[in-house]
Amino acid sequence: MTDFFKYQALGNDYVVIDPRCTDVPVSPESVRLVCDRHFGIGADGVLYGPLEEPRPGVPVPLALFNSDGSVCERSGNGLRMFALHLAEREPGTWAGGEPFTLRTAARDSPVQILDRAAGVVQVGLGKPVFDAAALPLLDEDGTPAEGPTLSVPLTVGERKLTVTALHNGNPHTVVPVAEPTAELARSLGPEIAGHARFPLRTNVQFLRVVSRSVLEIEVYERGAGYALASGSSACAAASAARELGLCDDRVEVRMPGGSVTVTIAPDRSVTLTGESQQVASGVFAPALRARLARAAEAAR
Ligand SMILES: N[C@H](CCC[C@H](N)C(=O)O)C(=O)O
């Protein structure tokens, strides 16, 4: 029995719970406990799956959770880590470098392991949508906003920002700034992520365009807080910068935990490539197991 596998991608860390390997119940409450860095394992989220026995040629379903227990539709890094998990469990089936498909609440995402030893995995996030209704984004007066979300004004406390919002499986808000810092992300990030104009909340990226081929971001994730890296955030920043004419169609996105490569096809489809690694696997101690079981029971 293996209750959990822990992975990280550029410091964005996830615990994989594979129902084929453990009977630990997964609920929002137990996710919060597992992700707690003091009372649990510690992670930005949980990848729970595969939800059915994987078969080659059939999309592999999994569920994604943020560390606060909320459901997340898609995670660029999370899917890359989950692909590696499948390859490490069943190298004969998944590690051959053939593309396969992972299925989450957002939609199907193609993944491909480019270098298993180095943990290099590519994932396609499809075409982003720059549309107020998709996020959703409300007007200042609380009514649903309409139309494109490129360079829209957003008032946050005393600050009048200009942001670009988009949906690439999950919602993102890109804030161009002169100097993205962890302090800025930690202070302003939560105010934007939970802003009344985003009723479903949003992930937030503070962006500096270093050159046409290099972007730098700091990330505040919806449901997980400050993050050292985020794959879909890197893609969101690249898509926003590309749409605003600020970068080319292949960019390096630098984050505190490391860099990824994002490419944007002529039809705007986005591909994310980067590294990730397994860092640990193990069993929960009986006391934590008991608490997880109680947490799942309470959630019923
Ligand atoms: N870390 C993830 C993004 C998680 C997004 C999540 N916080 C949400 O609620 O949308 C990534 O690498 O793409």
> Is the distance from the beta carbon of residue 77 to the nearest atom of ligand 1 less than 6 Å?
yes
Would residue 147 count as lying in a domain?
A: no
| Dist. CA 241–CA 167, nearest whole Å | 14
Would residue 124 count as lying in a domain?
A: no
Tokens of 112: 């491909």
Contact between 300 and 294 under an 8 Å Cβ cutoff? The reply is no
Q: Are residues 258 and 285 in the same domain?
A: no
Q: Whose C-alpha lies nearest to ligand 1, atom 2?
A: 75
Given ligand 1 and candidates 71, 203, 204, 275, which is best to mutate, with the most ligand atoms within 8 Å of its CB? 203
Q: Are residues 160 and 251 in the same domain?
A: yes
Would residue 239 count as lying in a domain?
A: yes
Q: Are residues 254 and 288 in the same domain?
A: no
**Domain with 221 in it: what CATH number?**
3.10.310.10
Q: Are residues 290 and 259 in the same domain?
A: no
Q: Is 12 labelled as part of a ligand binding site?
A: yes
DSSP class of residue 145 equals P
Q: Are residues 174 and 213 in the same domain?
A: yes
Q: Are residues 197 and 294 in the same domain?
A: no
Given ligand 1 and candidates 67, 75, 77, which is best to mutate, with the most ligand atoms within 8 Å of its CB? 75
Q: Nearest 10 degrees: CA dihedral of 99, 2, 45, 275?
A: -40
Q: How many angstroms is it from 257 CA to the middle of ligand 1?
A: 15
Q: Are residues 290 and 241 in the same domain?
A: no
pLDDT grade, residue 8 (50/70/90)? very high
Would residue 137 count as lying in a domain?
A: no
Q: What is the pLDDT of residues 9-62, one digit of tens each?
A: 999 999 999 999 999 989 999 999 999 999 999 999 999 999 999 988 899 999
| Dist. CA 183–CA 116, nearest whole Å | 35
- Amino acid type, 72: C
Give the structural domain span for 97: 4-107+277-299
Q: How many angstroms is it from 224 CA to the middle of ligand 1?
A: 8
Q: How far are the Cα atoms of 26, 238, 300 from residue 291, in angstroms, in the given order?
A: 12, 41, 14
Q: What is the pLDDT of residues 131-166, one digit of tens each?
A: 999 999 999 999 999 999 999 999 999 999 999 999
Q: Looking at per-residue confidence, does 295 or 271 come out higher?
A: 271
Tokens of 213: 């081929």
**Closest to 185 in 3D by CA, of 216, 146, 126, 225:** 225
- Amino acid type, 51: L
Contact between 36 and 45 under an 8 Å Cβ cutoff? The reply is no
Number of domains in the chain: 2
Q: Respond yes or no on whether ipTM tops 0.90.
A: yes
Output the average pLDDT for the chain: 95
Q: Are residues 179 and 214 in the same domain?
A: yes
Would residue 102 count as lying in a domain?
A: yes
Residue at token pair 């490391």: 258
**Closest to 209 in 3D by CA, of 174, 170, 256, 184:** 174
Would residue 129 count as lying in a domain?
A: no
